[in-house]
Structure 1
Amino acid sequence: MLLSSGPEAGEVVEAELDDPRPDEVIVRIEAVGVCPTDLATRRALGDRPAVLGHEGCGIVERLGADVDTLGLGDRVVISFASCGRCGQCRAGHPAYCDLASALNASGRRLDGSPTIHVGDEPVFGAHFGQSSFAAAALTDARSCVPVGDVPPEVAAPLGCGFLTGAGAVLNVLQPGPGDRLLVVGGGAVGTAAVLTALSDGVEVVVAEPVAARRELAVRFGATAVASLDDPLPSVTHALDTTGRPGPLARALALLRPRGVLAVIGLGPTTAAIDVRALMLRGLQLRGCVEGDAEPSLLVPELIRRHRQGSLPLDALVTTYGLGDFARAVADQQAGRTLKPVLVPTG
């Protein structure tokens, strides 16, 4: 497992997973995406030892006694954890699960028990219900979605990053042919949103400072600008992946009357919003977590589009060895890689 205990990337160490409980499984990881949330969590944990990673894909290796929805040998993508019982989960919105924080960010199971030990010491695990920067991950069966023969490096980011961008388009904004969508930020999440909207015949404009990312968006069929200060047309829908006050205000200003802006980026906790314009022009401002997706429904739909050729997610992925985490992050931050995916070798 890739164990980190501070701002450094960490080291690959031997670790021990707990045995699966009746509703849990162990997945042998074939690929795991690197997401900025992993880096933010690492910073927040200070020097606390942790195994992170929350976009795992692999083969089901062990089944808990009560698991009947999966079989040994199934290839699955592991998404975020949810309880499946609260009102939000029952309504099809598990990203807003009443227990989301405890299940995804506490580093342990709900009962406080650890899932990973290094030597005799428990470490922060169960990250987003999995901790998949590892050769194997322990997770709730509910978090696993079978993906068939899709290459694991393509399927892995469907656990979070690709799911978030695509879900924001399909579940929250819902633009259609004749609409124009502005995507602020052309990283992995933003580009997944771009591809999804284009696959539905939506006109897309991307604002992204990194030239290579703009070029990629244009190659797929979008229009791209370096800055929101560039001349831009009005839009019916907008998606902000930055969470920064300036882009949020500019995106709202570009919306046509009754337009919708969804925010999926985490930035400063406050931003100045023109409430008068929001009201008089009938605008909507929406938050969005994990694409407001039910992974068991959205992941198969995205795989269907990928197989049909309308959602070329493979073009967004670059693979690295598990021990190359630091290089993967550096390449992503420099714009050399859009979506780094680690491939454990043992």
Structure 2
Amino acid sequence: MTELFTAAVIRDKGGPFRIEQVRRRAIADDEVLVRVVATGMCHTDMVARDQIFPVPHPIVLGHEGSGIVDEVGKNVHELEKGDHVVLSFLNCNVCDPCHEGHPAYCANFNAWNFSGQRIDGSHVLEADDGTLLNDRFFGQSSFAQYAIANARNAIKVRKDAPLELLGPLGCGIQTGAGTVMNALKVAPGSSFAAWGGGAVGLSGVMAAAAIGATTIVAIDIVPSRLELAMELGATHTINSKEENAAERVKEITGGGAHSAMDSTGIAALVSAMVSSLRPSGTAAVVGASKPGTMAEIDLVDVMQSCKRLIGVVEGDSVPTTLIPVLVDLHMSGRFPFDRLVKFYDLDRINEAAEDSEKGITLKPIVRMPQ
């Protein structure tokens, strides 16, 4: 076993994160050891902490890590020590969706990302007392000073980019931007509506603006988020507490949006989003709802107007392709996702979680001790 290092461990349903000393086991031949610089905090971390999705505890969470490769397995040839990487989700690389170029829709996604162990049942982390910890969350468990990832989910990025900022590109930012760019294929000159003005929704706004959509509508109930949306590329905003959002989208877009994305997971908003589409429009659901959540959809409207409602995971992205593109867009000033973030040191991780859940911070990023 290696020397001790610091990690945030969830031992009880609902938290808190406990700062502990842990050890790691040796990396496998297809893995890399990454010295984590910083890790974004995502709603999915909270879902796992609260066991809304039944991941095993105790566990080290964190799935938006960025850092520097410290060691590579003997079968890893595309990465080397010293490379800067963003850690993303892990896929099996053998199922039909993976072979068809949709790794985010991997048929074995849960086993590779939520089981708390390697696919062979082995673990990476131990507590200081020698007991095993569940790990491999999204193939990384990056709320720690070190993370072991597969070479497939460690995405090499340019070294002149601000590494501590880049972690959220691995999940939340990728989800919003990728949904716009890959799943919805928002076109220049088209209209797009973002239902929800959190980090995912605003990433969609920025991506639509970068692509050249000319009518971009942001819907939320928090005035500060709507103000920020305008600064990030939205052409119109709607406070859904004060207006009928679906009707306003139709008015703004002249009959309905070409495409739309819901990042809230709220059933009533999904229903409104579908109704606000123009004929042949497409709406994407990316927000996490509680299992069993049902939305009412007017099937006659969907059929007669040839509308589409799709579910999207991780922006239907190929991370090795999309993440470097988003980095380049950011470095050129066309994707300013740094406007969404606030940094917290690891010993303030519970504060970061609380601020995220209260909506105080759109995208917390937790810095690791160096």
Give the TM-score of the pair, scaled to structure 1: 0.97
2:316 corresponds to which letter in structure 1? D
Give the alignment partner of residue 362 of structure 2, picking from 338, 342, 346.
338
Residue of structure 2 equivalent to 1:128: 138
8 Å CA contact 2:56–2:116 kept in 1: the answer is: no
Give the alignment partner of residue 269 of structure 2, picking from 247, 252, 255.
247
2:339 corresponds to which letter in structure 1? A
1:243-285 deviation line (CA, Å, top 9, x unaligned): 2210011111110000000110121432221111110000011
Give the alignment partner of residue 218 of structure 1, picking from 220, 230, 240.
230
Are 1:288 and 2:301 counterparts? no
Matched residues, number = 346
8 Å CA contact 2:15–2:49 kept in 1: the answer is: no
Task: Specify the SS of the correspondent of 2:50.
Answer: helix
Residue of structure 1 equivalent to 2:4: none
8 Å CA contact 1:5–1:46 kept in 2: the answer is: no
Residue of structure 2 equivalent to 1:192: 203
Are 1:116 and 2:129 counterparts? no
2:9 corresponds to which letter in structure 1? L
Post-superposition offset of 1:9: 2.4
Are 1:36 and 2:58 counterparts? no
8 Å CA contact 1:9–1:325 kept in 2: the answer is: no
8 Å CA contact 1:261–1:286 kept in 2: the answer is: yes
Residue of structure 2 equivalent to 1:277: 301
8 Å CA contact 1:213–1:335 kept in 2: the answer is: no
Q: How does 1:144-155 map to 2 (within 5 A)?
A: 144-149=154-159, 150-155=161-166
Relative distance call for 1:46 and 1:131 in structure 2 (3 A) is closer
Are 1:51 and 2:60 counterparts? yes
In the aligned structure 1, how far is the partner of 2:152 from the partner of 2:173? 19
Which has the higher mean CA deviation after the structures are superposed, 258-267 or 43-52? 43-52
Residue of structure 2 equivalent to 1:90: 99
In the aligned structure 2, how far is the partner of 1:123 from the partner of 1:172? 36
Post-superposition offset of 1:224: 1.5
In the aligned structure 1, how far is the partner of 2:123 from the partner of 2:56? 18
8 Å CA contact 1:80–1:159 kept in 2: the answer is: yes
8 Å CA contact 2:205–2:233 kept in 1: the answer is: no
In the aligned structure 2, how far is the partner of 1:18 from the partner of 1:159? 24
In the aligned structure 2, how far is the partner of 1:5 from the partner of 1:212? 35
2:227 corresponds to which letter in structure 1? E
Over 3 Å off, 4+ runs:
none
Give the alignment partner of residue 104 of structure 1, picking from 97, 100, 113.
113
Give the alignment partner of residue 9 of structure 1, picking from 16, 25, 28.
16
Task: Specify the SS of the correspondent of 1:302.
Answer: helix
Post-superposition offset of 1:46: 8.6
Give the alignment partner of residue 175 of structure 1, picking from 183, 186, 192.
186
Give the alignment partner of residue 308 of structure 1, picking from 329, 332, 349.
332
In the aligned structure 2, how far is the partner of 1:301 from the partner of 1:272? 37
In the aligned structure 2, how far is the partner of 1:253 from the partner of 1:183? 14
In the aligned structure 2, how far is the partner of 1:324 from the partner of 1:276? 51
1:253 corresponds to which letter in structure 2? S
Residue of structure 1 equivalent to 2:34: 27
Task: Specify the SS of the correspondent of 1:260.
Answer: strand
Residue of structure 1 equivalent to 2:3: none
8 Å CA contact 2:15–2:50 kept in 1: the answer is: no
Relative distance call for 1:337 and 1:47 in structure 2 (3 A) is same
Residue of structure 2 equivalent to 1:229: 244
8 Å CA contact 2:67–2:84 kept in 1: the answer is: yes
Give the TM-score of the pair, scaled to structure 2: 0.91
Residue of structure 2 equivalent to 1:267: 289
In the aligned structure 2, how far is the partner of 1:47 from the partner of 1:31? 24
8 Å CA contact 2:117–2:136 kept in 1: the answer is: yes
8 Å CA contact 1:262–1:286 kept in 2: the answer is: yes
Are 1:18 and 2:33 counterparts? no
In the aligned structure 1, how far is the partner of 2:232 from the partner of 2:216? 10
8 Å CA contact 1:57–1:156 kept in 2: the answer is: yes
8 Å CA contact 2:34–2:146 kept in 1: the answer is: yes
Unaligned 5+ runs, structure 1:
none
In the aligned structure 1, how far is the partner of 2:134 from the partner of 2:229? 37
Are 1:204 and 2:216 counterparts? yes
Post-superposition offset of 1:123: 1.2
Relative distance call for 1:47 and 1:69 in structure 2 (3 A) is closer
Which has the higher mean CA deviation after the structures are superposed, 333-342 or 227-236? 227-236
